[in-house]
Amino acid sequence: MRDLRLALRAGGGFGLGLAFFLILAVLVPLGVGPAPETLALIAPGILWVGALLACLLSLDRIFALDFEDGSLDLLATAPVPLEAVVTIKALAHWLTTGLPLVLISPVLGLLLFLPGEAYLWLILSLMLGTPALSVIGTFGAALTVGLKRGGLLLSLLVLPLYIPTLIFGAEVVSRGAQGLSVATPLALLAGITAGAVALLPFASALVLRINLR
Amino acid sequence: MASFWEYANPLKFMRTTDWLLPVVTWAAVIVTTVGLVWGFFFTPDDFRQGSTVKIIFLHVPAAMMAINIWVMMLVASLIWLIRRHHVSALAAKAAAPIGVTMTLIGLITGAVWGQPMWGTWWAWDPRLTSFLILFLFYLGYIALWAAIEDPDTGADLTAVLCIVGSVFAVLSRYAAIFWSQGLHQGASLSLAPGTRVDWAYKAPLYISMVGFGLVFLALLLAGTRTEIRARRMKALVTRERMA
């Protein structure tokens, strides 16, 4: 089933999130000016906010297509627990959005003059943090699946839920850039991801059942 | 003594609030007026803050209610999800706009006080930040209610959102503390010994806090009654159409 999901994803807007991330990283220097010191200072935050927004962009696609053609109803009645379906969906979203963002982030870090020590922490923090973004986003997508004007509402619902992940993720990178110890925010970030991955699929499945009722 | 659960019956709820609402409304008006008038006109100016200290009589009760209303919504959502009491879901729905107003009052009065005292309208202080985040959570909750047509689906979805949101709101609060050093003073009132606020201010403050609580109760009862009536009207219209 996972393969099926992935194939399905590859068909539609796979690189869109990536392109958005890239454009953001190009626009910011154009907006704030090309001074390396300024850019280096704000690079961790920009990269994390960019990753978060790029994630957000593809969220409504998680369930929308399957809902329209009815395959979501089939999945819900399939002999697989809906919690597992939701988890796989989140995993598929992460593989198509989160992972490419992690891989491209060093290049964008280069564009933004991210200090050398921070690259490792940038990759590590995104690696640890983006799964949480996907899982939380799947919950938001499940909440708004049946709605016509779901897109904007989805961002309004999901963005506040992203706040803790963003704070700790950006903190890891900016502390890494200053050469400080990153153990505490990194552990907290991993904790949020672990907690979200463990618990939120139940909430998403519950919400999905309500929406399919 | 009647059980609390009896009020899950809308009819019983309406009958009780028929006489309870005017009582609570008048109590709210009187207590809030006493608290605010005493606070604004019959307390001395602070020797450092001058008359701006009097904003506390709006700021602290509003901020307290903003948090308590969210907790009340959480409890009402749980009651709805577990025991499926319609009045509970409607009460949570009616509470949200009041909560968002209280949050806004807290933020605005804080900004008005912060301008002369801290020299800035806004600071990215953990307390201020978490309040802004709470404001966003309220907005999302209200928007979700507004977007869903079917009332039962709406009640279910918003209830789950409220529970998940609560967890993330608490996480955001501690993340914000971790993220930035504070400018906001510590708790103005606490049960710990070594009181920081003089009784000249504390007495009217407590009265306004009770007053704000009563205002919330009155608005909540009125809002819930409106929701029940709206629900009945919809049912009547549907029945008319069926006939």
Count the domains in chain A: 1
- What totals of helices (H) and strands (E) does chain A contain, helices first? 10, 0
**Digit-coded pLDDT (tens) for A15-25:** 777 888 888 88
pLDDT at residue B1, as a whole number: 45
- C-beta separation of A150 from A144 below 8 A: yes
Give dist(CA A134, CA A62) in Å, integer: 10
Give dist(CA A160, CA A162) in Å, integer: 5
Question: Cα-flanking dihedrals φ and ψ of residue A17, to 5°?
Answer: -60, -45
Tell me how many degrees the CA angle A72-A77-A82 measures, rounded to the nearest 5: 70
Place of tokens 């609030």: B17
- Note whether ipTM > 0.85 here: no
**Digit-coded pLDDT (tens) for A164-205:** 899 888 888 888 888 777 888 888 889 999 999 999 999 999
Mean pLDDT of A198-213: 88
Q: Which of B149, B168, B174, B177 to mutate to test the interface with A (most CBs of A within 10 A)?
A: B168
Each domain of chain B, given as residue ranges in start order, spans 37-181+199-242
Share of chain B above pLDDT 70, in %: 88
Contact B176 A167 (CB under 8 A): yes
Residue of B nearest to A156 (CA): B140
Residues of A in contact with B148 (CB under 8 A): 147
- C-beta separation of B92 from B73 below 8 A: yes
Name the pTM for this structure. 0.85
- C-beta separation of A208 from A144 below 8 A: no
Nearest neighbour of B175 by CB, restricted to A167, A203, A211: A167
Chain A: closest CA distance from residue B39 (Å):
36
Residues of chain A in Cβ contact (below 8 Å) with chain B: 139, 143-144, 147, 149-150, 153, 156-157, 159-161, 163-164, 167-168, 171, 184-185, 188, 192, 200, 203, 206-207, 210-211, 213
Q: CA dist A186 to A32, A33, A128, A164, A166, Å? A: 29, 31, 8, 12, 12
Mean pLDDT of A115-120: 83
Residue of A nearest to B163 (CA): A203
Mean pLDDT of A87-112: 86
Q: Which range marks the domain in which residue A46 is found?
A: 2-212
Print pLDDT tens along chain B (243 aa).
456 777 778 888 888 888 899 999 999 999 999 888 888 887 777 666 667 777 888 888 898 899 999 999 999 999 998 888 888 888 999 999 999 999 999 999 988 888 887 778 887 887 888 889 899 999 999 999 888 888 888 888 899 999 999 988 888 888 887 777 656 666 555 544 445 666 777 788 888 889 999 999 999 999 999 999 998 898 899 888 887
